[in-house]
């Protein structure tokens, strides 16, 4: 048994891994600046003691305790400073995951700018429903599993099990600036797409390509790389792989291809081809072209580890999409509210396309919060404007922490709104500086413009100031008035 102390235990990944280590019999404790529900309940129910403040007196006296430092923890944190002064053993979360959870198991790493959480969750579910009992680390507490991380069960006939992990290209910790996914030693890797993101740590797209190139070079010769046939940059990187490479997508050159795609109220169906040979027709409750590609990646990976077509179909149809991925929160009296995590132009565009498939012939009002370190800059300002082509009306929330940027570097939502209105859309942009009651102002605008049949689509990787809660209340009220 090893003793672990997590600095930043309230984070989704940190807390999930802490519970998994506890399940393996390790002694686990930790701290954070505040641990809130549902993570607080999850930790407590798992028997993990934690502190709701950072204080050097919280650190264990045993200098052999492994101090797991969260990605959000930086120099100046009192517990980190004390651990450094005492020369305690520092571990990053990816390092612990590699050592304790992946080990000698078959490692499947799902990477890419978009689609990681859905693809990882779906693949885990397919393997689980085929009785392979995979271990996993997901970006959240998933509805199919009621947890975000679990250890692998070793399969008696193989001597190892499968561990599926969401491979993030973001850096590892304050003392390790490599991408997290470089710790996971994939036997099988999936690259959904590679676009510029994380502008706070990557200076340009070439730097991101370099990280993905390093990931590809970690795959052994007897491994497999599955790469999106749509992404030319990813395909080019894959040419330097030492392992077998297969493309997946809708394009003619894809080894794993979806054709004859049809959408219904229950989801999407398509025929799967492998090297132009028909495998069968499959159905998924997911919507959107991007989710067809996500599903194809999972089908290809499942086939590689031996799942039958029946296993794959059963898993596809019983899958519940992760929270905040086209999650319908309200759907009454011809008014609908959807929450989605999209915060990059490509993700917003694909999410809008999927929403149109889900609710054809209905108006879509898109509410976007520029919150990430990339979306708050003006790098993608023109791309964001184009991404809203399918929206009838657009609400632009406040730029998160605008003081970080000069006027010529910050996303200009007022300029965006002007162009969007010139294309015939209605809209509203929260002014700068941000009013304290900006959420109420957004709700007031929406009340004035809401019509029967409207679909409200909230796009944010944060809380958007609690907008979702107020929109639910507004829609409940409006259903009685429309």
Q: Is residue 97 situated within a structural domain?
A: no
How far apart, in whole angstroms, are the C-alpha atoms of residue 73 and residue 61? 21
Query: Based on the domain organization, do 266 and 142 belong to the same domain?
Result: yes
Q: How far is the C-alpha of 364 from the C-alpha of 346, rounded, in Å?
A: 17
Eight-class DSSP state of 181:
G
- Is residue 427 helix, strand or coil? strand
Residue 354: predicted pLDDT: 83
Structure-token pair, residue 442: 């957004």
> How many domains is the chain built from?
3
pTM for the model? 0.85
Residue that finishes a domain, picked among 27, 58, 92? 92
Q: What is the pLDDT of residue 278?
A: 94
Residue-level pLDDT at 230: 92
Q: Is residue 98 part of a domain?
A: no
Domain harbouring 380, CATH code: 3.90.190.20
Of 317, 340, 355, the position where a domain reaches its end is 317
Is 313 found in the same domain as 293?
A: yes
Task: For residue 426, give the DSSP letter.
Answer: E
In whole angstroms, what is the distance from residue 265 CA to residue 61 CA? 58
Whether residue 76 is contained in a domain is answered as: yes
- Domain check: are 350 and 207 in the same one? no
- The answer to whether the beta carbons of residues 138 and 322 sit under 8 Å apart is yes
Question: Has residue 27 been placed in a domain?
Answer: yes
Contact in structure between 114 and 346 (CB atoms under 8 Å):
yes
Distance between CA atoms of residues 452 and 413, nearest Å: 28
Do both 294 and 439 map to the same domain? no
Structure tokens at 403: 């003081």
CB 237 within 8 A of CB 216: yes
Q: Based on the domain organization, do 301 and 348 belong to the same domain? A: no
Q: Name the DSSP letter for residue 134.
A: -
Expressed in angstroms, the distance from the first to the final Cα of the chain is: 62
Q: At what angle do helices 289-304 and 116-129 cross, to 10 degrees?
A: 40
Residue at 166 is within a domain: yes
Same domain, 140 and 286: yes
Say yes or no: 126 and 152 in one domain: yes
User: 132 and 263 share a domain?
Assistant: yes
Which of these three, 39, 57, 92, is where a domain ends? 92
Residue 191: inside a domain: yes
**Are 172 and 299 part of one and the same domain?**
yes
Q: Quick check: is 409 in a domain?
A: yes
Phi/psi for 250 (5° steps) reads: -105, -5
Q: For residue 290, what are the contacts with CB-CB under 8 A and spacing of at least 6?
A: 114, 115, 350, 353, 354
Name residue, tokens 């700018």. 113
Q: What is the pLDDT along the chain (482 residues), one digit of tens a residue?
A: 899 999 999 988 999 999 999 999 999 999 999 887 778 888 888 899 999 999 999 999 999 999 999 999 999 999 999 999 999 999 999 999 999 999 999 999 999 988 788 899 999 999 999 999 999 998 766 777 878 899 999 998 889 999 999 998 989 999 999 999 999 999 999 999 898 777 778 889 899 999 999 999 999 999 999 999 999 999 999 999 999 999 999 999 999 999 999 888 788 899 999 999 999 999 998 878 888 999 999 999 999 999 999 999 999 988 877 677 778 888 888 888 989 887 788 889 888 988 888 888 899 999 999 988 888 888 888 888 998 999 999 999 999 888 888 888 888 899 999 999 999 989 999 998 888 899 999 999 998 888 888 999 999 988 888 898 888 888 887 666 65
CA 216 to chain centre: 21
CATH, residue 306: 3.40.1190.10
Q: Angle at the Cα of 140 (from 139 to 142), degrees rounded to 5?
A: 115
User: Pairing between strand 267-274 and 277-284?
Assistant: antiparallel
Q: Look at residue 458 and give its three-state secondary structure.
A: strand
Read off the CATH number of the domain in which 54 is found. Answer: 3.40.50.720
At 480 the pLDDT is: 61
12/107 same-domain check: no
Residues 122 and 78 in one domain: no
CA-based torsion, 115, 118, 124, 125: positive or negative: negative
Q: Tell me whether residue 421 is in a domain.
A: yes
pLDDT at 288: 80
User: pLDDT value at position 332?
Assistant: 85
Residues 188 and 120 in one domain: yes
**Per residue in 279-293, is it b (16+ CB within 10 Å) or e — as a string?**
beebbbebbbbbbbb
Containing domain of residue 218, as a range?
103-317
């Amino acid at each position: 048994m090893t003793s672990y102390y997590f600095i930043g235990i309230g984070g989704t990944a940190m807390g999930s891994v802490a519970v998994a280590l506890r399940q393996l019999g390790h002694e686990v404790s930790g701290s954070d600046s505040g641990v809130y529900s549902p993570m607080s309940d999850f930790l407590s129910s798992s028997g993990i003691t934690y502190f709701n403040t950072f204080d050097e007196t919280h650190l264990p006296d045993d200098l052999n305790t492994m101090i797991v430092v969260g990605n959000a923890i930086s120099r100046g944190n009192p517990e980190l400073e004390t651990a450094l002064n005492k020369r305690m053993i520092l571990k990053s979360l990816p390092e612990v995951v590699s050592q304790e959870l992946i080990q000698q198991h078959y490692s499947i790493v799902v990477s890419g700018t978009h689609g990681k959480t859905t693809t990882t969750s779906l693949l885990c579910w397919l393997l689980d429903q085929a009785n392979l009992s995979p271990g996993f680390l997901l970006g959240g507490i998933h509805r199919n599993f009621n947890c975000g991380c679990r250890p692998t069960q070793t399969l008696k006939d193989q001597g190892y099990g499968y561990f599926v992990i969401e491979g993030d290209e973001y850096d590892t910790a304050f003392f390790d600036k490599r991408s997290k996914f470089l710790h996971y030693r994939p036997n099988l890797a999936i690259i959904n797409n590679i676009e510029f993101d994380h502008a706070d740590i990557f200076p340009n797209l070439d730097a991101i390509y370099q990280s993905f190139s390093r990931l590809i070079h970690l795959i052994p010769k007897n491994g497999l790389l599955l790469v999106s046939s749509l992404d030319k940059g990813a395909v080019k990187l894959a040419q330097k792989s030492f392992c077998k490479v297969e493309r997946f997508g809708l394009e003619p050159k894809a080894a794993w291809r979806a054709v004859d795609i049809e959408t219904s109220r229950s989801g999407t169906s398509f025929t799967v081809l492998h090297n132009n040979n028909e495998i069968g027709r499959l159905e998924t409750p997911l919507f959107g072209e991007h989710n067809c590609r996500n599903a194809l990646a999972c089908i290809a990976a499942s086939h590689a580890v031996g799942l039958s077509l029946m296993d794959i179909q059963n898993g596809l149809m019983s899958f519940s999409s992760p929270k905040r991925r086209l999650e319908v929160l309200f759907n009454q009296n011809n008014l609908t509210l959807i929450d989605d995590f999209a915060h990059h132009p490509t993700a917003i565009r694909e999410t809008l396309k999927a929403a149109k498939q889900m609710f054809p012939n209905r108006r879509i009002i898109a509410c976007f919060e520029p919150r990430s370190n990339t979306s708050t800059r003006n790098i993608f300002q023109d791309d964001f404007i184009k991404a809203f082509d399918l929206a009838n009306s657009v609400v632009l929330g406040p730029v998160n922490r605008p003081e970080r940027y000069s006027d010529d570097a910050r996303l200009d939502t007022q300029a965006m709104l002007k162009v969007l209105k010139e294309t015939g859309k209605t809209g509203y942009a929260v002014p700068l500086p941000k009013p304290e009651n900006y959420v109420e102002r957004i709700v007031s605008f929406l009340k004035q413009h809401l019509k029967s049949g409207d679909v409200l689509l909230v796009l944010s990787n944060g809380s958007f100031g609690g907008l979702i809660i107020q929109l639910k209340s507004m829609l409940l009220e409006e259903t009685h008035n429309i």
